[in-house]
């Protein structure tokens, strides 16, 4: 998945989604969590806001199907 990010001020935590990440190399991060409009820095996984759409690789469909099957088993 590819996404654009920017540093933000305290007000941004009420406007943007934020991704938790681990830098794997300079300028490249591995996203492990996304929280939409967390409301405060304390509730956010990072201070880097997601400011645009996402480019997702085709393997997402396999993960979505697995998630759907898991949810169906719970109901």
> What is the pTM (predicted TM-score) of this model?
0.56
Range of the domain at 25: 2-74
User: Which residue intervals of the chain are DSSP H helices?
Assistant: 60-74
Torsion-angle region of residue 24: left (phi > 0), alpha (psi -120 to 50) or beta?
Answer: alpha
Per-residue pLDDT at 25 exceeds 70: yes
Residues 29-47: tens digit of each pLDDT: 788 888 899 999 899 988 8
Per-residue pLDDT at 63 exceeds 90: yes
Structure confidence at residue 48 as a pLDDT band (50, 70, 90): confident
- Count: domains in the chain: 1
């Amino acid at each position: 998945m590819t996404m654009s990010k920017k540093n933000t001020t305290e007000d941004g935590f009420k406007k943007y989604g934020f991704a938790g990440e681990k830098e794997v190399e300079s300028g490249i991060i591995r996203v492990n969590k996304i929280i939409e409009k967390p409301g405060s820095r304390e509730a956010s996984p990072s201070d880097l806001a997601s400011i645009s759409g996402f480019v997702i690789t085709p393997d997402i469909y396999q993960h979505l199907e697995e998630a759907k099957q898991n949810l169906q088993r719970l109901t």
